[in-house]
C-alpha cells in the first residue's frame, strides 16, 4: 500500500482573508493542526477553517 501524504488543515483570516496552513502537531501516528495565533498580514486573531469559509462568509451578508 502506498503512503498517501496528509494534507494540512488550512485556515482563513477573518480580518483580511489570508489563507494559512495550520501548525502541525504529531499525535498517535497522525497529525492535528491549529490555526495561527495571529495573522501576519493584519494582526487579527480570528480564523475559520478553510472548508467552512464559504458557509461562514455567506452567513454574514
Q: What confidence tens digit (pLDDT) does each residue in 18-35 have?
A: 999 998 888 787 788 999
State the alpha helices, DSSP H only, in the chain: 53-58
pLDDT at 25: 85
38 has a pLDDT exceeding 90: yes
The pTM assigned to this predicted structure is 0.77
Q: What is the mean pLDDT of residues 1-28?
A: 86
Handedness of CA 7, 16, 49, 30 (dihedral sign): positive
The lowest-confidence range among 28-32, 42-46, 51-55 is 28-32
Contacts of 8 (CB under 8 A, 6+ apart): 21, 22, 24, 31, 33
> For all residues of the chain together, what is the average pLDDT?
87
Distances (CA, A) of 16 to 6, 12, 27, 61: 27, 8, 31, 16
Amino acid at each position: 500500500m502506498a503512503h498517501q501524504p496528509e494534507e494540512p488543515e488550512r485556515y482563513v483570516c477573518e480580518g483580511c482573508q489570508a489563507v494559512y496552513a495550520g501548525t502541525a502537531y504529531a499525535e498517535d501516528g497522525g497529525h492535528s493542526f491549529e490555526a495561527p495565533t495571529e495573522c501576519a498580514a493584519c494582526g487579527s486573531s480570528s480564523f475559520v477553517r478553510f472548508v467552512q469559509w464559504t458557509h461562514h462568509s455567506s452567513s454574514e451578508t
